[in-house]
């Protein structure tokens, strides 16, 4: 066994021991085709008011600029498919936000993975990224053989669907890359496109993020939500799972095994009236470790009032 193959085996063993569902490896190189696609998407203004998407363009497309001397991009998937169910009368919250903030959970795992690799392999440099840094995670996941990007813009695995967080570890370690995932198994299916309440899923796997319910309820900081969305929110107050729940591949999803993703009981059970009566102090106390803090008490109230006005 070569040194790179030996190190690759160690990487994958340690990743699975830390609870990651999948681990794939790609050679670190510029993503020229993805760069052109991202540039066009930004020029069309489909990112809305998410100005940060325009920042660090050169870093997004070249891992060696994020981690000097980078040789390998390790992509990791962590299952978040829920173990519970919201009450029918509860305002809807995307399942990724039912438990503790995944950024913190996964960053801890990435730090431990890097530490484990340094202990077992030696002095290596690396940086872990989870969603909040300029990394094209889905592109690397596809290049690492983990799945394909569906029409809804999500990475889909053939065995377990799409309810996964994607994490990236860029390192100067030489590893044996996996074969890229070459086939698209969406075929002629258009369920996600047909089901999207705001018609945010465009042809050619293009997402109009500025029309997405997740954008309206989380990223958009305006005092009022767009009037054209008033009858299309379908009860969502934080994110949206519609395009995932209708995807046939998610019939293979299995409940996650991560204790930190256990649902907050309030998310599963609070009625609209109870949400409305939550003070900011109580909101921060209950959801101090939750992704809901991204919208904040003020944003959640705005979203609640918006869907109530549509009823």
pLDDT at 58 over 80: no
Rounded distance between C-alpha atoms, residue 136 and residue 230, angstroms: 32
Region 57-63: mean pLDDT is 74
User: Could you tell me the CA-to-CA distances from 273 to 147, 224, 240, 299, 304 in Å, in that order?
Assistant: 41, 20, 21, 16, 9
Rounded distance between C-alpha atoms, residue 53 and residue 42, angstroms: 8
Give CA 123 to chain center in angstroms: 30
Region 80-99: mean pLDDT is 94
pTM of the model: 0.93
Residue given tokens 């872990």 in the structure block: 128
pLDDT computed for residue 53 by the predictor? 61
Q: Quick: pLDDT tens for 194-232.
A: 999 999 999 888 899 899 999 999 998 988 888 888 889
Catalytic residues: 131
Q: Are 167 and 104 in contact (CB under 8 A)?
A: no
Rounded distance between C-alpha atoms, residue 211 and residue 298, angstroms: 21
Taking alpha carbons only, the member of 81, 78, 79, 77 closest to residue 24 is 77
Tokens of 111: 């730090």
45: left (phi over 0), alpha (psi -120 to 50) or beta: left
Query: What residues does each domain of the chain span?
Result: 3-83+95-171, 191-310
DSSP H/E element including 287: none
State percent of the chain over pLDDT 90. 75
Rounded distance between C-alpha atoms, residue 237 and residue 193, angstroms: 21
């Amino acid at each position: 066994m070569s040194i790179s193959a030996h190190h690759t085996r160690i990487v994958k063993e340690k990743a699975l021991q830390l609870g990651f569902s999948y681990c794939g490896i790609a050679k670190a190189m510029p993503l020229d085709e993805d760069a052109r696609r991202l540039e066009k998407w930004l020029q069309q203004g489909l990112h809305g008011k998410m100005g940060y998407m325009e920042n660090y363009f050169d870093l997004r497309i070249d891992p060696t600029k994020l981690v000097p001397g980078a040789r390998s991009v390790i992509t990791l998937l962590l299952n978040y498919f829920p173990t519970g169910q919201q009450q029918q009368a509860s305002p809807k919250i995307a399942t990724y936000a039912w438990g503790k903030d995944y950024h913190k959970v996964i960053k801890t795992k990435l730090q431990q993975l890097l530490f484990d690799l340094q202990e077992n392999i030696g002095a290596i440099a690396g940086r872990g990224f989870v969603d909040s840094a300029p990394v094209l995670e889905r592109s690397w996941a596809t290049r690492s053989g983990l799945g394909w990007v569906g029409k809804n813009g999500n990475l889909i695995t053939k065995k377990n669907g799409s309810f996964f967080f994607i994490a990236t570890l860029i390192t100067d370690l030489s590893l044996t890359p996996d074969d890229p995932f070459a086939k698209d198994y969406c075929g002629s299916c258009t369920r996600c496109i047909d089901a999207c309440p705001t018609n945010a899923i465009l042809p050619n796997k293009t997402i109009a993020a500025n029309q997405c319910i997740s954008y309206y309820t989380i990223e958009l900081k305006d005092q009022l939500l767009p009037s054209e969305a008033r009858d299309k929110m379908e009860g969502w107050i934080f994110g949206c799972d519609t395009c995932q729940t209708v995807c046939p591949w998610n019939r293979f999803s299995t409940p996650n095994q991560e204790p930190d993703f256990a649902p907050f009981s309030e998310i599963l059970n609070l009625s609209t009236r109870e949400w409305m009566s939550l003070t900011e102090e109580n909101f921060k106390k209950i959801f101090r470790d939750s992704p809901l803090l991204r919208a904040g008490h003020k944003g959640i109230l705005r979203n609640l009032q918006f869907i109530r006005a549509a009823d």
